[in-house]
Amino acid sequence: MPPRNALTTAAFLAGVLLAGPAMAQTTVVNQAVTESEVLAAQKAWCDALVGISTTHATQGQPAAKAMAEKVIDAAYGYQMGAVLFKPTLTVAPQTFRTTRAGALAYFVGGDTAFPKDTGFALKGWAKCDVANAAIFIAGDSATTMGNVNITGKDGKVTTVDKTWKFVKDDAGKLRIVVHHSSLPYSGS
């Protein structure tokens, strides 16, 4: 693993000070999650959704599935034991996809264990934008809430209400550990 955010700033070390003024170094390691890291991770999710759709259109489902597996392994935290994932369009009794298999089935379908999944990421998405209502950074995590607007190839925009919680892994990369997505309430 590479060091993360290790940098040095000028400081006086005592041993040096007593022998006569001289510049020494303070090693600073800062693992705090930053807002720009959060925005980059959100953009990466959007780009991956469009990427899987494009791959599906040009290379077929197996290629899209292979890409989705890479995305899940790189961007989610299933290796921590579970992800709290409520995708937009799942239904009971398989609403919550706490396992990697459940996430993969949702994105690209083709898993008989999840018979209602037709592959959300295969639906020809052309564009994806995030509009955060709020970002809360605290402790070792950052949580966001807001809308994600995804545009189909026909130009129709689907808006979802979405909450993401990200944590930084040992390699310094943000991973999604909570993901709750829902269609807006339709009124009444």
The torsion angles phi and psi of 78, rounded to 5 degrees, stand at -60, -30
Among 50, 149, 151, 152, binds its own copies (CB under 8 A): 149
26 binds its own copies (CB under 8 A): yes
Query: What count of other Cβ atoms lies within 10 Å of the Cβ of residue 140?
Result: 11
* Distance from C-alpha of 166 to C-alpha of 169, rounded to nearest angstrom: 9
Under the criterion CB under 8 A, does residue 155 sit at the interface with its own copies? no
Q: Which is nearer to its own copies, 17 or 59 (CB)?
A: 17
Task: Determine, following the binding rule CB under 8 A, whether residue 6 of this chain makes contact with its own copies.
Answer: yes
Separation of CA 107 from chain center: 14
Q: Which is nearer to its own copies, 55 or 166 (CB)?
A: 166
Minimum CB separation of residue 36 from its own copies in Å reads: 11
Closer by beta carbon to its own copies, 63 or else 82: 82
20 backbone φψ class: left, alpha, beta (φ>0; ψ -120 to 50): left
**Cβ neighbours of residue 156 closer than 8 Å, sequence gap 6 or more:** none
Beta bridge partners of 9: 26
Residue the block writes with tokens 């809360």: 136
Residue 183 CB, shortest distance to its own copies, in Å, is: 7
By CB under 8 A, which span of 10-18, 43-51, 52-60, 65-73 interacts with its own copies? 10-18
Could you give the CA distance from residue 79 to residue 99 in angstroms, rounded to a whole number? 9
If binding is defined by CB under 8 A, does position 32 make contact with its own copies?
Answer: yes
What minimum distance in Å lies between the beta carbon of 99 and its own copies? 8
Which positions from 42 through 101 interact with its own copies, judged by CB under 8 A?
79-82, 84-86, 88-93, 95-96, 98
